[in-house]
C-alpha cells in the first residue's frame, strides 16, 4: 500500500504538469497566427463535441414525451378519419337508395357489412336493425334489382337470404304488361337467373326486360331485374327463360330495405 507521502508527491507532480501545459499553450497561442488557429480549432472541436453530446442526451430523454405526443396525435387523426368516413358512407347510402317513403312502401338505406359469394346458400348482413324499423320478411333491393329477403333482425343489424340461394324465388313480369312467372338463381353465376312457368304462347324475346311483378308483400312492382338471354321449351307447354341480371351480386355495397305498410293486414288475410 503506497504511503501518504508518495500520494502527495504524485498529486504535486500532476498539478505542476497541468500548470506547465497551460502555460505552454498560452505561450504558443501568443507566439504566432498559425499556432493560434490550431489552438482555436482544437477548442472549437472540443466545445462542439461536448455540446453535441449534451444535445444527444437531452434528445434521448425527450423521446418518451415526444412519442406520447405522436401517439395522441395519431389517435386524434384516426378518430377524425373514422368520423369523415362515416359521413361519406351515409351520403353514399342515400345516393344508392330509394326515397325514404313512397306511399305504401317505406325504404331504409343500409350498407352491406358482410356477405357470402361462393356458397349454395348465400347471405347478406346489413347495418340496420329493429331500432331502425327493419322487420323480418322485408325486401332488400337496389336500383338494379331485388337482392334478398330479411330473415333475422337484431337491434342494429339484419340478416338477409340472398337471391343467390336456391331457396329464394321472386315473382316477376316480362315487361310492364307481360306474363308473370317465378324467377330463381341459376346456381352457377353471380348474374344468372331462370324464369319459369311462362306459357309457350307468350312472346318473350332476348333483350326484353324482366321486372318485379308486385304480387307479394316483399318487393314493390316494376323494379328492373335483368334482360332475357335465351329461352327453351319445357314439356311442350312452358318456357324456361334464361335471364342476365343487371346487378352483379359480387359488387353489392349499398342497399335499401323496403317495408310494406300493408304487410300485416295482407298477411292476416292470407292466414285465414
Domain region containing 157: 101-271
Q: Where are the alpha helices (DSSP H) in 32-104?
A: 33-95
| Rounded CA separation 233/229 (Å) | 14
Q: Please check whether residue 95 is in contact with residue 77, taking contact to mean a CB–CB distance below 8 angstroms.
A: no
Q: Up-side HSE of residue 58: CA atoms within 13 Å toward CB?
A: 6
**Residue 114: inside a domain, yes or no?**
yes
**Residue 91: inside a domain, yes or no?**
no
Q: The domain that contains 148 carries what CATH number?
A: 2.40.10.340
The per-residue pLDDT for 11 is 65
**Residue 159: inside a domain, yes or no?**
yes
**Residue 3: inside a domain, yes or no?**
no
| Rounded CA separation 163/185 (Å) | 7
Q: Please check whether residue 231 is in contact with residue 240, taking contact to mean a CB–CB distance below 8 angstroms.
A: yes
**Residue 42: inside a domain, yes or no?**
no
Q: Please check whether residue 172 is in contact with residue 195, taking contact to mean a CB–CB distance below 8 angstroms.
A: yes
**Residue 247: inside a domain, yes or no?**
yes
Counting Cβ atoms within 10 Å, is residue 92 exposed (0-12), middle (13-18) or buried (19+)?
middle
**Residue 31: inside a domain, yes or no?**
no
Looking at the 3D structure of the chain, how many domains does it have? 1
What Rg value do the Cα atoms of the chain yield, rounded? 41
The separation between the first and the last C-alpha atoms of the chain, rounded to the nearest angstrom, is 117
Write out the chain's pLDDT in tens, 272 residues: 455 556 666 667 666 666 665 655 565 555 555 455 555 555 555 555 655 555 555 555 566 676 666 656 765 676 567 566 657 766 666 665 565 555 678 889 999 999 988 777 899 999 999 999 999 999 999 888 899 999 999 999 999 999 988 888 999 999 988 889 999 999 888 889 999 888 888 888 899 999 999 888 889 888 999 999 998 888 778 888 999 999 888 888 899 999 888 777 777 777 77
Q: How many helices (H) and strands (E) does the chain have?
A: 3, 13
Q: Please check whether residue 253 is in contact with residue 144, taking contact to mean a CB–CB distance below 8 angstroms.
A: no
**Residue 5: inside a domain, yes or no?**
no
The per-residue pLDDT for 171 is 92
Counting Cβ atoms within 10 Å, is residue 75 exposed (0-12), middle (13-18) or buried (19+)?
exposed
Angle between helices 33-95 and 4-31 (to 10 degrees): 90
Burial track 238-248 (b if 16+ CB lie within 10 A, e otherwise)? bbbbbbbbbbe
The per-residue pLDDT for 197 is 81
pTM of the predicted protein model: 0.65
Amino acid at each position: 500500500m503506497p504511503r501518504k507521502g508518495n500520494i502527495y508527491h504524485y498529486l504535486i507532480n500532476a498539478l505542476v504538469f497541468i500548470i506547465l501545459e497551460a502555460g505552454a499553450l498560452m505561450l504558443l497561442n501568443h507566439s504566432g497566427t498559425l499556432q493560434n488557429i490550431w489552438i482555436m480549432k482544437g477548442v472549437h472541436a472540443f466545445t462542439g463535441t461536448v455540446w453535441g453530446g449534451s444535445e444527444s442526451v437531452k434528445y434521448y430523454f425527450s423521446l418518451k414525451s415526444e412519442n406520447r405526443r405522436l401517439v395522441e396525435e395519431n389517435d386524434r387523426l384516426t378518430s377524425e378519419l373514422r368520423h369523415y368516413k362515416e359521413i361519406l358512407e351515409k351520403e353514399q347510402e342515400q345516393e344508392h337508395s330509394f326515397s325514404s317513403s313512397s306511399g305504401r312502401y317505406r325504404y331504409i338505406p343500409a350498407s352491406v357489412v358482410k356477405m357470402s359469394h361462393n356458397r349454395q346458400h348465400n347471405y347478406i348482413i346489413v347495418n340496420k336493425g329493429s331500432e331502425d324499423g327493419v322487420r323480418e320478411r322485408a325486401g332488400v333491393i337496389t336500383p338494379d334489382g331485388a337482392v334478398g329477403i330479411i330473415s333475422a333482425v337484431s337491434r342494429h343489424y339484419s340478416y338477409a337470404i340472398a337471391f343467390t340461394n336456391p331457396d329464394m324465388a321472386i315473382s316477376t313480369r316480362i315487361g310492364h304488361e307481360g306474363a308473370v312467372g317465378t324467377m330463381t338463381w341459376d346456381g352457377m353465376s353471380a348474374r344468372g337467373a331462370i324464369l319459369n312457368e311462362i306459357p309457350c304462347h307468350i312472346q318473350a324475346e332476348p333483350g326484353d326486360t324482366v321486372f318485379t311483378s308486385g304480387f307479394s308483400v316483399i318487393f314493390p312492382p316494376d323494379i328492373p331485374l335483368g334482360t332475357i338471354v335465351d329461352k327453351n321449351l319445357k314439356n311442350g307447354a312452358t318456357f324456361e327463360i334464361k335471364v342476365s341480371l343487371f346487378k352483379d351480386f359480387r359488387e353489392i355495397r349499398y342497399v335499401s330495405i323496403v317495408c310494406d305498410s300493408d304487410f300485416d293486414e295482407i298477411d292476416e288475410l292470407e292466414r285465414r
